[in-house]
Protein backbone atom coordinates (compact mmCIF):
# COMPACT_ATOMS: atom_id res chain seq x y z
CA UNK A 1 0.00 0.00 0.00
CA UNK A 2 1.13 3.50 -0.88
CA UNK A 3 1.57 5.72 2.19
CA UNK A 4 4.13 8.12 0.75
CA UNK A 5 3.23 11.79 0.30
CA UNK A 6 -0.02 11.38 2.25
CA UNK A 7 0.92 14.17 4.62
CA UNK A 8 1.68 16.45 1.68
CA UNK A 9 -1.85 16.41 0.26
CA UNK A 10 -4.20 15.21 2.97
CA UNK A 11 -6.55 17.55 4.86
CA UNK A 12 -8.27 16.48 8.08
CA UNK A 13 -11.88 17.23 7.22
CA UNK A 14 -15.15 16.82 9.08
CA UNK A 15 -15.64 13.55 7.19
CA UNK A 16 -12.27 12.33 8.45
CA UNK A 17 -13.36 13.00 12.04
CA UNK A 18 -16.64 11.13 11.47
CA UNK A 19 -14.77 8.11 10.11
CA UNK A 20 -12.31 8.07 13.00
CA UNK A 21 -15.13 8.37 15.54
CA UNK A 22 -16.98 5.40 14.03
CA UNK A 23 -13.81 3.31 13.87
CA UNK A 24 -12.95 4.03 17.50
CA UNK A 25 -16.46 3.06 18.68
CA UNK A 26 -17.07 -0.04 16.53
CA UNK A 27 -13.66 -1.32 15.50
CA UNK A 28 -14.66 -1.12 11.84
CA UNK A 29 -16.08 1.48 9.48
CA UNK A 30 -17.61 1.54 5.99
CA UNK A 31 -16.68 4.69 4.04
CA UNK A 32 -19.27 5.44 1.37
CA UNK A 33 -19.08 8.19 -1.22
CA UNK A 34 -18.94 9.21 -4.88
CA UNK A 35 -15.98 8.50 -7.19
CA UNK A 36 -13.10 10.82 -6.32
CA UNK A 37 -14.51 11.97 -2.96
CA UNK A 38 -11.42 10.70 -1.13
CA UNK A 39 -12.58 7.35 0.26
CA UNK A 40 -9.28 5.61 -0.44
CA UNK A 41 -7.13 8.59 0.56
CA UNK A 42 -8.98 8.90 3.88
CA UNK A 43 -8.53 5.18 4.49
CA UNK A 44 -4.82 5.25 3.75
CA UNK A 45 -4.25 8.26 5.98
CA UNK A 46 -5.99 6.53 8.89
CA UNK A 47 -4.00 3.38 8.22
CA UNK A 48 -0.77 5.35 8.32
CA UNK A 49 -1.79 6.93 11.62
CA UNK A 50 -2.59 3.51 13.14
CA UNK A 51 0.56 1.99 11.67
CA UNK A 52 2.56 4.64 13.50
CA UNK A 53 1.14 3.38 16.82
CA UNK A 54 1.88 -0.26 16.07
CA UNK A 55 -0.98 -1.62 13.97
CA UNK A 56 -0.03 -3.87 11.05
CA UNK A 57 -1.59 -2.73 7.73
CA UNK A 58 -2.93 -5.35 5.35
CA UNK A 59 -5.09 -4.95 2.23
CA UNK A 60 -7.56 -7.74 1.51
CA UNK A 61 -8.73 -7.91 -2.10
CA UNK A 62 -10.88 -11.06 -2.16
CA UNK A 63 -13.03 -13.12 0.21
CA UNK A 64 -10.53 -15.97 -0.10
CA UNK A 65 -7.81 -13.52 0.91
CA UNK A 66 -9.75 -12.84 4.10
CA UNK A 67 -9.86 -16.56 4.87
CA UNK A 68 -6.14 -16.89 4.31
CA UNK A 69 -4.71 -13.85 6.07
CA UNK A 70 -7.10 -12.68 8.83
CA UNK A 71 -7.49 -14.08 12.33
CA UNK A 72 -8.74 -12.34 15.52
CA UNK A 73 -6.42 -10.30 17.76
CA UNK A 74 -3.48 -10.04 15.35
CA UNK A 75 -3.21 -6.24 15.76
CA UNK A 76 -4.15 -5.73 12.08
CA UNK A 77 -5.55 -2.69 10.34
CA UNK A 78 -7.49 -4.38 7.55
CA UNK A 79 -8.34 -2.46 4.38
CA UNK A 80 -10.95 -3.64 1.83
CA UNK A 81 -11.19 -1.11 -1.01
CA UNK A 82 -14.30 -1.15 -3.23
CA UNK A 83 -15.59 -4.28 -1.55
CA UNK A 84 -18.19 -5.17 -4.22
CA UNK A 85 -16.37 -3.85 -7.27
CA UNK A 86 -14.94 -0.57 -8.51
CA UNK A 87 -16.78 -0.02 -11.79
CA UNK A 88 -19.69 -2.45 -11.58
CA UNK A 89 -21.28 -4.75 -9.02
CA UNK A 90 -19.94 -8.27 -8.64
CA UNK A 91 -22.80 -10.52 -7.48
CA UNK A 92 -20.26 -13.21 -6.66
CA UNK A 93 -18.42 -10.82 -4.34
CA UNK A 94 -21.70 -9.77 -2.70
CA UNK A 95 -22.58 -13.38 -1.91
CA UNK A 96 -19.13 -14.39 -0.73
CA UNK A 97 -18.54 -11.30 1.40
CA UNK A 98 -22.07 -11.44 2.86
CA UNK A 99 -21.41 -15.00 4.00
CA UNK A 100 -18.47 -13.69 6.00
CA UNK A 101 -20.07 -10.64 7.66
CA UNK A 102 -20.57 -12.34 11.03
CA UNK A 103 -17.00 -13.64 11.00
CA UNK A 104 -15.70 -10.20 9.99
CA UNK A 105 -17.51 -8.55 12.89
CA UNK A 106 -16.10 -11.14 15.27
CA UNK A 107 -12.58 -10.59 13.95
CA UNK A 108 -12.39 -6.93 15.00
CA UNK A 109 -12.43 -5.38 18.44
CA UNK A 110 -14.59 -2.60 19.83
CA UNK A 111 -12.00 0.12 19.22
CA UNK A 112 -8.45 0.82 18.08
CA UNK A 113 -6.65 0.07 21.33
CA UNK A 114 -4.69 -3.09 22.21
CA UNK A 115 -4.07 -5.99 19.86
CA UNK A 116 -7.61 -6.15 18.45
CA UNK A 117 -7.95 -5.89 14.68
CA UNK A 118 -9.67 -2.89 13.12
CA UNK A 119 -11.13 -2.74 9.63
CA UNK A 120 -11.84 -0.08 6.98
CA UNK A 121 -14.12 -0.83 4.01
CA UNK A 122 -14.88 1.52 1.11
CA UNK A 123 -17.79 1.43 -1.31
CA UNK A 124 -19.09 3.78 -3.99
CA UNK A 125 -22.58 5.22 -3.65
CA UNK A 126 -23.79 3.79 -6.95
CA UNK A 127 -22.38 0.34 -6.17
CA UNK A 128 -24.04 0.39 -2.74
CA UNK A 129 -27.39 1.32 -4.26
CA UNK A 130 -27.16 -1.56 -6.72
CA UNK A 131 -26.24 -4.20 -4.17
CA UNK A 132 -28.13 -3.17 -1.02
CA UNK A 133 -31.13 -5.41 -1.82
CA UNK A 134 -28.82 -8.41 -2.29
CA UNK A 135 -27.04 -8.13 1.06
CA UNK A 136 -27.75 -10.91 3.50
CA UNK A 137 -26.97 -8.68 6.49
CA UNK A 138 -27.57 -5.03 5.69
CA UNK A 139 -27.11 -4.16 9.37
CA UNK A 140 -23.40 -4.87 8.93
CA UNK A 141 -23.27 -1.80 6.68
CA UNK A 142 -25.91 0.41 8.26
CA UNK A 143 -24.37 0.54 11.71
CA UNK A 144 -20.86 1.29 10.49
CA UNK A 145 -21.35 3.51 7.41
CA UNK A 146 -20.07 7.06 7.12
CA UNK A 147 -21.29 8.70 3.91
CA UNK A 148 -18.64 11.31 3.15
CA UNK A 149 -20.84 12.75 0.39
CA UNK A 150 -23.92 13.50 2.51
CA UNK A 151 -24.88 17.00 3.66
CA UNK A 152 -23.24 16.53 7.05
CA UNK A 153 -19.87 15.20 5.88
CA UNK A 154 -19.35 16.60 2.38
CA UNK A 155 -16.59 19.14 1.93
CA UNK A 156 -17.22 22.71 3.02
CA UNK A 157 -15.97 25.70 1.04
CA UNK A 158 -13.15 26.16 3.57
CA UNK A 159 -12.10 22.49 3.35
CA UNK A 160 -12.12 22.64 -0.46
CA UNK A 161 -9.88 25.70 -0.37
CA UNK A 162 -7.45 23.92 1.97
CA UNK A 163 -7.31 20.86 -0.31
CA UNK A 164 -6.83 23.04 -3.38
CA UNK A 165 -3.92 24.84 -1.73
CA UNK A 166 -2.29 21.48 -0.95
CA UNK A 167 -2.36 20.40 -4.60
CA UNK A 168 -1.83 23.81 -6.20
CA UNK A 169 0.25 26.00 -3.84
CA UNK A 170 0.12 29.01 -6.18
CA UNK A 171 -3.57 29.33 -5.29
CA UNK A 172 -2.36 31.16 -2.17
CA UNK A 173 -1.54 34.14 -4.39
CA UNK A 174 -4.92 34.14 -6.14
CA UNK A 175 -8.35 35.15 -4.96
CA UNK A 176 -9.99 31.86 -5.95
CA UNK A 177 -12.82 30.40 -3.90
CA UNK A 178 -14.61 27.20 -4.87
CA UNK A 179 -18.23 27.39 -3.72
CA UNK A 180 -19.09 24.04 -2.14
CA UNK A 181 -22.82 24.00 -2.90
CA UNK A 182 -22.34 25.08 -6.52
CA UNK A 183 -19.56 22.55 -7.15
CA UNK A 184 -21.52 19.56 -5.86
CA UNK A 185 -24.56 20.72 -7.84
CA UNK A 186 -22.66 21.25 -11.10
CA UNK A 187 -20.26 18.28 -10.84
CA UNK A 188 -22.22 15.45 -9.19
CA UNK A 189 -20.19 12.55 -10.60
CA UNK A 190 -16.64 13.52 -9.74
CA UNK A 191 -15.22 14.24 -6.30
CA UNK A 192 -13.34 17.45 -5.60
CA UNK A 193 -10.05 15.81 -4.46
CA UNK A 194 -9.93 13.87 -7.74
CA UNK A 195 -10.48 17.10 -9.67
CA UNK A 196 -7.50 18.60 -7.86
CA UNK A 197 -5.34 15.59 -8.76
CA UNK A 198 -6.38 15.74 -12.42
CA UNK A 199 -5.60 19.46 -12.61
CA UNK A 200 -2.24 19.11 -10.88
CA UNK A 201 -1.00 16.16 -12.95
CA UNK A 202 -2.08 17.28 -16.43
CA UNK A 203 -0.60 20.46 -17.92
CA UNK A 204 -3.16 20.60 -20.72
CA UNK A 205 -5.98 20.87 -18.16
CA UNK A 206 -4.22 23.86 -16.63
CA UNK A 207 -4.26 25.89 -19.86
CA UNK A 208 -7.88 26.96 -19.47
CA UNK A 209 -7.25 28.34 -16.01
CA UNK A 210 -8.09 27.02 -12.58
CA UNK A 211 -11.47 28.71 -12.14
CA UNK A 212 -12.77 27.56 -15.52
CA UNK A 213 -11.61 24.00 -14.95
CA UNK A 214 -13.43 23.62 -11.64
CA UNK A 215 -16.66 24.91 -13.16
CA UNK A 216 -16.74 21.90 -15.51
CA UNK A 217 -13.78 19.53 -15.05
CA UNK A 218 -15.16 16.70 -17.18
CA UNK A 219 -15.59 19.07 -20.12
CA UNK A 220 -11.91 19.98 -19.97
CA UNK A 221 -10.90 16.34 -19.56
CA UNK A 222 -12.82 15.31 -22.68
CA UNK A 223 -11.58 18.35 -24.59
CA UNK A 224 -8.00 17.40 -23.75
CA UNK A 225 -8.50 13.89 -25.10
CA UNK A 226 -9.98 15.34 -28.30
CA UNK A 227 -6.93 17.54 -28.82
CA UNK A 228 -4.47 14.70 -28.19
CA UNK A 229 -6.26 12.64 -30.83
CA UNK A 230 -6.41 15.56 -33.28
CA UNK A 231 -2.66 16.04 -32.82
CA UNK A 232 -2.08 12.37 -33.69
CA UNK A 233 -0.33 11.60 -30.41
CA UNK A 234 0.44 7.90 -30.10
CA UNK A 235 0.06 7.87 -26.31
CA UNK A 236 -3.71 8.13 -26.77
CA UNK A 237 -3.68 4.69 -28.40
CA UNK A 238 -2.29 3.28 -25.16
CA UNK A 239 -5.27 4.67 -23.26
CA UNK A 240 -7.68 3.35 -25.89
CA UNK A 241 -6.11 -0.10 -25.73
CA UNK A 242 -6.51 -0.22 -21.94
CA UNK A 243 -10.07 1.06 -22.33
CA UNK A 244 -10.93 -1.77 -24.72
CA UNK A 245 -9.48 -4.26 -22.22
CA UNK A 246 -11.82 -3.07 -19.47
CA UNK A 247 -9.67 -0.38 -17.88
CA UNK A 248 -7.00 -2.74 -16.56
CA UNK A 249 -4.18 -4.62 -18.30
CA UNK A 250 -1.40 -6.85 -17.00
CA UNK A 251 2.00 -5.18 -17.16
CA UNK A 252 3.54 -7.89 -19.34
CA UNK A 253 0.60 -7.89 -21.73
CA UNK A 254 0.89 -4.14 -22.29
CA UNK A 255 4.67 -3.90 -22.51
CA UNK A 256 5.40 -6.97 -24.61
CA UNK A 257 4.68 -7.52 -28.30
CA UNK A 258 2.74 -10.75 -27.96
CA UNK A 259 0.81 -11.98 -30.97
CA UNK A 260 -2.32 -12.40 -28.81
CA UNK A 261 -2.72 -8.66 -28.23
CA UNK A 262 -0.95 -7.34 -31.31
CA UNK A 263 -4.20 -6.97 -33.26
CA UNK A 264 -5.86 -5.14 -30.34
CA UNK A 265 -3.01 -2.64 -30.11
CA UNK A 266 -3.16 -1.98 -33.84
CA UNK A 267 -6.92 -1.57 -33.57
CA UNK A 268 -6.47 1.02 -30.81
CA UNK A 269 -4.09 2.99 -33.03
CA UNK A 270 -6.55 2.87 -35.92
CA UNK A 271 -9.34 4.15 -33.66
CA UNK A 272 -7.12 7.16 -32.91
CA UNK A 273 -6.57 7.61 -36.66
CA UNK A 274 -2.89 6.72 -36.33
CA UNK A 275 -0.65 4.78 -38.67
CA UNK A 276 -0.13 1.40 -36.93
CA UNK A 277 3.34 1.10 -35.39
CA UNK A 278 3.90 -1.20 -32.43
CA UNK A 279 7.32 0.38 -31.88
CA UNK A 280 5.73 3.81 -31.37
CA UNK A 281 2.99 2.26 -29.26
CA UNK A 282 5.41 0.68 -26.80
CA UNK A 283 7.51 3.84 -26.61
CA UNK A 284 4.40 5.73 -25.46
CA UNK A 285 3.24 3.35 -22.73
CA UNK A 286 4.50 5.41 -19.79
CA UNK A 287 3.60 8.85 -21.19
CA UNK A 288 0.46 9.09 -19.04
CA UNK A 289 1.82 7.16 -16.05
CA UNK A 290 1.13 9.15 -12.90
CA UNK A 291 -1.66 11.20 -14.47
CA UNK A 292 -4.26 9.10 -16.28
CA UNK A 293 -2.60 5.74 -15.61
CA UNK A 294 -1.20 4.06 -12.52
CA UNK A 295 0.84 0.89 -12.20
CA UNK A 296 -0.53 -1.26 -9.40
CA UNK A 297 2.50 -3.20 -8.20
CA UNK A 298 0.37 -5.47 -6.01
CA UNK A 299 -1.30 -7.18 -8.97
CA UNK A 300 1.16 -6.12 -11.69
CA UNK A 301 -1.41 -4.20 -13.75
CA UNK A 302 -1.75 -0.87 -15.47
CA UNK A 303 -5.14 0.75 -14.85
CA UNK A 304 -6.83 4.11 -15.18
CA UNK A 305 -6.18 6.46 -12.30
CA UNK A 306 -9.90 7.06 -11.96
CA UNK A 307 -13.19 5.89 -13.46
CA UNK A 308 -13.77 9.42 -14.84
CA UNK A 309 -10.79 8.92 -17.17
CA UNK A 310 -12.30 5.74 -18.56
CA UNK A 311 -15.81 7.12 -19.09
CA UNK A 312 -14.59 10.44 -20.58
CA UNK A 313 -12.35 8.65 -23.06
CA UNK A 314 -15.19 6.36 -24.15
CA UNK A 315 -17.48 9.33 -24.76
CA UNK A 316 -14.84 11.10 -26.85
CA UNK A 317 -14.28 7.98 -28.95
CA UNK A 318 -18.03 7.90 -29.54
CA UNK A 319 -17.68 11.27 -31.30
CA UNK A 320 -14.91 10.25 -33.69
CA UNK A 321 -15.17 6.48 -34.22
CA UNK A 322 -17.60 4.44 -36.27
CA UNK A 323 -20.22 3.60 -33.65
CA UNK A 324 -20.73 -0.07 -34.45
CA UNK A 325 -16.97 -0.56 -34.46
CA UNK A 326 -16.69 1.07 -31.02
CA UNK A 327 -19.55 -1.01 -29.60
CA UNK A 328 -18.07 -4.26 -30.88
CA UNK A 329 -14.62 -3.41 -29.46
CA UNK A 330 -15.53 -1.95 -26.07
CA UNK A 331 -15.59 -3.71 -22.72
CA UNK A 332 -19.02 -4.64 -21.35
CA UNK A 333 -18.74 -2.11 -18.50
CA UNK A 334 -18.88 0.78 -20.98
CA UNK A 335 -22.25 -0.21 -22.43
CA UNK A 336 -23.88 1.49 -19.42
CA UNK A 337 -23.12 4.87 -21.04
CA UNK A 338 -25.21 4.14 -24.15
CA UNK A 339 -28.59 5.79 -24.40
CA UNK A 340 -31.16 6.79 -27.02
CA UNK A 341 -33.54 9.69 -27.56
CA UNK A 342 -36.36 7.61 -26.05
CA UNK A 343 -34.52 6.81 -22.82
CA UNK A 344 -34.97 8.90 -19.66
CA UNK A 345 -32.29 11.39 -18.70
CA UNK A 346 -29.44 9.84 -16.73
CA UNK A 347 -27.31 11.40 -13.98
CA UNK A 348 -24.12 10.14 -15.59
CA UNK A 349 -22.56 11.20 -18.90
CA UNK A 350 -24.06 9.26 -21.78
CA UNK A 351 -23.38 8.52 -25.43
CA UNK A 352 -26.42 8.93 -27.67
CA UNK A 353 -26.93 6.25 -30.30
CA UNK A 354 -29.64 5.88 -32.96
CA UNK A 355 -31.79 2.89 -33.88
CA UNK A 356 -29.40 1.90 -36.67
CA UNK A 357 -26.97 0.74 -33.97
CA UNK A 358 -29.51 -1.27 -31.94
CA UNK A 359 -28.74 -4.53 -33.71
CA UNK A 360 -25.03 -4.18 -32.96
CA UNK A 361 -25.71 -3.54 -29.26
CA UNK A 362 -28.16 -6.47 -29.06
CA UNK A 363 -25.70 -8.85 -30.68
CA UNK A 364 -22.98 -7.61 -28.32
CA UNK A 365 -25.23 -8.32 -25.33
CA UNK A 366 -25.99 -11.83 -26.58
CA UNK A 367 -22.30 -12.59 -27.04
CA UNK A 368 -21.58 -11.32 -23.52
CA UNK A 369 -24.36 -13.34 -21.92
CA UNK A 370 -22.93 -16.48 -23.46
CA UNK A 371 -19.88 -16.01 -21.23
CA UNK A 372 -22.14 -16.82 -18.22
CA UNK A 373 -20.05 -14.56 -15.98
CA UNK A 374 -22.17 -13.22 -13.06
CA UNK A 375 -20.50 -9.79 -13.05
CA UNK A 376 -21.40 -9.38 -16.71
CA UNK A 377 -25.03 -10.27 -16.00
CA UNK A 378 -25.21 -7.68 -13.20
CA UNK A 379 -23.75 -4.93 -15.37
CA UNK A 380 -25.98 -5.64 -18.37
CA UNK A 381 -29.08 -5.66 -16.20
CA UNK A 382 -28.50 -1.96 -15.45
CA UNK A 383 -28.27 -0.73 -19.06
CA UNK A 384 -30.20 2.46 -19.80
CA UNK A 385 -31.15 1.12 -23.22
CA UNK A 386 -33.56 -1.42 -21.73
CA UNK A 387 -35.92 1.50 -21.22
CA UNK A 388 -36.18 2.11 -24.97
CA UNK A 389 -39.14 0.03 -26.20
CA UNK A 390 -37.84 -0.10 -29.78
CA UNK A 391 -34.46 -1.40 -28.68
CA UNK A 392 -36.09 -3.92 -26.37
CA UNK A 393 -38.26 -5.32 -29.18
CA UNK A 394 -35.27 -5.55 -31.50
CA UNK A 395 -33.32 -7.36 -28.80
CA UNK A 396 -36.14 -9.91 -28.45
CA UNK A 397 -36.33 -10.41 -32.23
CA UNK A 398 -32.61 -11.12 -32.39
CA UNK A 399 -32.93 -13.39 -29.36
CA UNK A 400 -35.59 -15.40 -31.19
CA UNK A 401 -33.39 -15.69 -34.28
CA UNK A 402 -30.62 -16.95 -32.00
CA UNK A 403 -32.95 -19.81 -30.99
CA UNK A 404 -34.04 -18.32 -27.69
CA UNK A 405 -30.89 -17.87 -25.69
CA UNK A 406 -32.84 -16.04 -22.98
CA UNK A 407 -35.87 -16.69 -20.84
CA UNK A 408 -38.33 -13.88 -20.34
CA UNK A 409 -41.66 -13.31 -18.64
CA UNK A 410 -44.21 -10.61 -19.47
CA UNK A 411 -46.18 -8.84 -16.75
CA UNK A 412 -49.30 -7.79 -18.68
CA UNK A 413 -50.67 -5.70 -15.82
CA UNK A 414 -47.66 -3.40 -15.58
CA UNK A 415 -46.73 -3.80 -19.24
CA UNK A 416 -43.19 -4.77 -18.29
CA UNK A 417 -40.91 -7.68 -18.97
CA UNK A 418 -38.30 -9.51 -16.93
CA UNK A 419 -35.41 -10.93 -18.94
CA UNK A 420 -33.50 -13.76 -17.29
CA UNK A 421 -29.88 -13.72 -18.43
CA UNK A 422 -29.35 -17.44 -18.62
CA UNK A 423 -29.15 -19.94 -21.42
CA UNK A 424 -32.58 -21.42 -22.04
CA angle 388, 393, 394 (to 5 degrees): 100
Q: 98 and 69 in one domain? A: yes
Ramachandran angles phi, psi of 411, nearest 5°: -100, 100
User: Given 321, 354, 370, which residue is the final one in a domain?
Assistant: 321
CA distance 82 to 39: 9
Q: 356 and 285 in one domain? A: no
CA distance 131 to 121: 15
What pLDDT score does 95 carry?
A: 83
Q: How confident is the model at residue 5 (pLDDT cuts 50, 70, 90)?
A: low
Q: Residues 322-361: pLDDT tens digits?
A: 899 899 888 888 898 899 999 887 656 789 999 999 999 9
Q: 317 and 254 in one domain? A: yes
Which domain covers residue 406, as residue numbers? 322-424
What pLDDT score does 424 carry?
A: 39
User: Given 228, 249, 272, which residue is the final one in a domain?
Assistant: 228
Q: 108 and 14 in one domain? A: yes
Q: 192 and 89 in one domain? A: no
| 245 domain-assigned | yes
**pLDDT over threshold 90, residue 230:** yes
Q: 115 and 23 in one domain? A: yes
Q: 203 and 125 in one domain? A: no
What pLDDT score does 219 carry?
A: 85
Report if pTM > 0.85: no
User: Given 228, 254, 287, which residue is the final one in a domain?
Assistant: 228
Q: Residues 75-110: pLDDT tens digits?
A: 999 999 988 877 666 667 788 898 899 999 999 988
Q: What is the CATH number of the domain that holds 117?
A: 3.40.50.300
| 152 domain-assigned | no
Q: 336 and 353 in one domain? A: yes
CB neighbour list of residue 3: distance below 8 Å, 6 or more residues apart: 44, 47, 48, 51
Q: 27 and 43 in one domain? A: yes
Q: How far is CA 44 from CA 13, 82, 105, 119, 292, in A?
A: 14, 13, 21, 12, 20
Number of independent structural domains in the chain: 4
Q: How confident is the model at residue 174 (pLDDT cuts 50, 70, 90)?
A: low
**pLDDT over threshold 70, residue 54:** yes
Amino acid sequence: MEFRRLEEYFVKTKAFSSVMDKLQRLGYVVIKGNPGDGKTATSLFIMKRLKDIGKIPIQIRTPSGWDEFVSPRENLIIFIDNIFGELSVSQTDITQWSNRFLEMKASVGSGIEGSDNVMIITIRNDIHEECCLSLKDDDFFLTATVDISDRYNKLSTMEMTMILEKYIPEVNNQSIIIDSEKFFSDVPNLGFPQCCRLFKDNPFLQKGGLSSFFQNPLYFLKDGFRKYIQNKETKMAVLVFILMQGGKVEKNALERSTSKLKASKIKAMEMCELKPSLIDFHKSIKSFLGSFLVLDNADGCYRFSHSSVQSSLFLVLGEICEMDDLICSCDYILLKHLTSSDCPTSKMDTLLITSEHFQCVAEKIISLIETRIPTVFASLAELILWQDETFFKEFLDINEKEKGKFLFQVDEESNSMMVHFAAA
